[in-house]
Chain A
């Protein structure tokens, strides 16, 4: 039981580590946002689940925290990337498609989302 929990915590910590690495190494703002958010959400939930194996009586509160992170973290990163897109943050040269900007141009103004 404890071994399962600690392996889950270790996996989660690895994902948190990779989130930090992605945040440092990715080429532009948008890729950093997606690396930092996705990996850290998964890592956080795995750590909380692993601790739930250690303390079954804490499970409900840990579940609430995990649900909260799962709900809020994508929202905040969505708001951030929307703001970054609105103020025309430069993208990496390898970016091919900007569907949101094309949609805005088709509708006549640059501010649709």
Chain B
């Protein structure tokens, strides 16, 4: 019975995904709006990655709202789960097993690679796929590996909180600078566009992307750490 139901579930998933795969095709033509963005973003913003250009400049206010939502989530989780004495609530007579030494050592080797990859994703946001949010999530997953493999580590919540608050303040500050020196709030033209396609180009987009990455990484790390106990 159980095997039959699990087989049925797998078959249903297979049918759904077969429909998706069968219906997938690279779109040959783009709509008029997309065409306009595709022409406008590299010309006006100097960013090869159109999506990041739209997200950070034209829809900058949206992104600010998303960051605010994430901040509210972190604050809410902190209010609900933090504050109490977080001694491990393991039932008596069953002390938790020591984590494996192999996993700990392997995590120490893998962690720098993960954080480096997160930084790469953040810094290449305006060139290829990636950006602040994605890179921040990769950094936070590195934090999660740290907690899984080396449970004795304690995160410094004060430092993380100050870091992400500073990143948020500087983000809004850059937005106000755009109001003063360029066309509007969060306009990326406050810095020179630079050479198209290089690492330091596209005005303020890499700076904003890095700030977003720091903020999202710190916030998600704190949220994950709150859920640990």
Chain A contacts to B: CB under 8 angstroms: 64, 67-68, 71-72, 74-75, 78-79, 82, 86, 111, 113
Contact = CB atoms under 8 A, between A and B. Distances in A.
B45 to A, nearest CB: 26
Contact of A78 (B97, B100, B113, B117): B100
Contacts of B107: 75
B102 interface: yes
A64 B112 CA distance: 12
A72 B102 CA distance: 11
A82 B104 CA distance: 14
Contacts of B39: none
B107 to A, nearest CB: 8
- Determine the main DSSP class of B at the interface with A: helix
Nearest to B107: A75
Contacts of A75: 102-103, 106-107, 110
Given A71-B113, A75-B110, A78-B102, 8 more contacts: A67-B113, A71-B106, A74-B106, A75-B103, A75-B107, A78-B103, A79-B100, A111-B97
Nearest to B101: A113
Nearest to B97: A111
Contacts of A68: 110, 113
B141 to A, nearest CB: 12
A71 B113 CA distance: 10
Nearest to B116: A64
Contacts of A64: 113, 117
A69 to B, nearest CB: 11
A72 B106 contact: yes
Contact of A71 (B97, B109, B117): B109
Interface in B123-140: none
Nearest to A111: B97
Contacts of A74: 106
Contacts of B106: 71-72, 74-75
B110 A82 contact: no
Contacts of A78: 100, 102-103
Contact of A113 (B100, B110, B117): B100
Given A86-B97, A111-B97, A79 B113 contact: no
Contacts of A111: 97
B197 to A, nearest CB: 15
A48 to B, nearest CB: 16
A89 to B, nearest CB: 16
Contacts of B109: 71
Contacts of B110: 68, 71-72, 75
A79 B106 CA distance: 11
A91 to B, nearest CB: 20
A64 B102 CA distance: 21
Interface in B84-110: 97, 100, 102-103, 106-107, 109-110
Contacts of B97: 86, 111
A61 to B, nearest CB: 10
